[in-house]
Amino acid sequence: MRSLWLTLALLIPFLAQAQEPGDDLLLEDSTLDVILRKERGGGLLLHTLGWGGQYRQGVARTALRKQFIEFDLVSMKSSKEIKTVNPYFSNSRSYVYGKMNSVLVARGGYSFHNRLSRKPRDGGLEVRYILGAGASLAIAKPIYLNIIRFTSSIYEYNITTERYDPEEHQVENIYGRASYFKGIEKSSFHPGAYARFGFTFDYGQEHTKVRSLEVGTLLDIYPFFPVEIMAFNPKHHYFVNFYLGINIGQRYNRLPSKREKAAVSDQP
């Protein structure tokens, strides 16, 4: 019997180490002895071909891993875009010569955040790496320009708004860009997919608040419906971007009701 108890005593440390990571969220992940399993937030997303916004909402699956549903909406440009103006008219508006479509990309999918280093109790930096994937939808709105139409005299002209045609519209007869919303009803949709890999650095001091920077790379791919941005250039089957995200948010178990918020605000 004594040998059995001795054997069990020797096995206990090994059994504790063999415990599946994250089985005890309170022990592993709480800095204030209260585990906050839910998280939501969003912020600004800057990438090498544009910018936009991001929103995430998720839950801690283990002490080391969180799962999020995420949404992005960003602009997407071509690396060959150069703004110009008509040199013969001082009040003309700038435009991008050769640009066929203005593109927005909407993404929706899932991401998994895996902790690499834990934030100390007195504050500091928590580092996680991110793997994400989902659906990507490119929305291509055709470009409309204000075009100069000369009458019987070179000194008399009218300005009309027309969809950009690279065969007809040249630098000499383009007055400038039209309203962004012109032609929005003629937008085309290009479904595809995306994948994300990055690192997030949470520097917030409060356990209930998210304050983080995120860096990484994004791949948007459109294998069957390529996206056209610039005339006389191949259509894009994919976009590869490096990105920087600036995010704020909150961690919680249950959000307070309106009545509870009112009761707190009424307290002296």
pLDDT tens per residue across span 88-114: 888 889 999 999 999 999 999 999 999
Q: What is the pLDDT of residue 111?
A: 97
Give the distance from CA 243 to its chain's centroid. 8
- 74 has a pLDDT exceeding 50: yes
Taking residues 182-195, report their average pLDDT: 97
27-80+99-140+183-255: CATH topology is Porin (2.40.160)
Evaluate if pTM is beyond 0.85: no
Q: What is the pLDDT of residue 250?
A: 93
DSSP string, the chain: -HHHHHHHHHHHHHHHHTSPTTS-HHHHH-SSS----EEEEEEEEEETTEEEEEEEEEEESSSSEEEEEEEEEEEE--TT--EE--TT-TTPPPEETTB-EEEEEEEEEEEEEEEEEPPPTT---EEEEEEEEEEEEEEEEEPEEEEEEE-SSTT-EEEEEEE--TTT--GGGEEEE--TTTTGGG-EEEEEEEEEEEEEEE--SSTTEEEEEEEEEEEEE-SSS-B--BTTSPPBSEEEEEEEEEEEEEEESSPPPHHHHHHHHH--
Neighbours of 23 (CB within 10 A): 10
205 — pLDDT class (breaks 50, 70, 90): confident
When mean pLDDT is compared across 19-28, 56-65, 200-209, 256-265, the lowest value belongs to 19-28
Give the distance from CA 169 to its chain's centroid. 35
Q: Check residues 180 and 13 and name the one with the higher pLDDT.
A: 180
CB 230 within 8 A of CB 252: no
Neighbours of 79 (CB within 10 A): 8
Taking residues 201-209, report their average pLDDT: 86
Domain limits, the chain? 27-80+99-140+183-255
Q: Check residues 259 and 10 and name the one with the higher pLDDT.
A: 259
User: Which residues, 6 or more positions from 164, have their beta carbon under 8 angstroms from its beta carbon?
Assistant: 99, 100, 142, 143, 144, 145, 231
Neighbours of 116 (CB within 10 A): 11
Write out pLDDT tens, residues 109-158.
Answer: 999 999 998 877 666 789 999 999 999 999 999 999 999 988 876 677 88
Taking residues 167-179, report their average pLDDT: 92
Mean pLDDT over the full length of the chain: 85
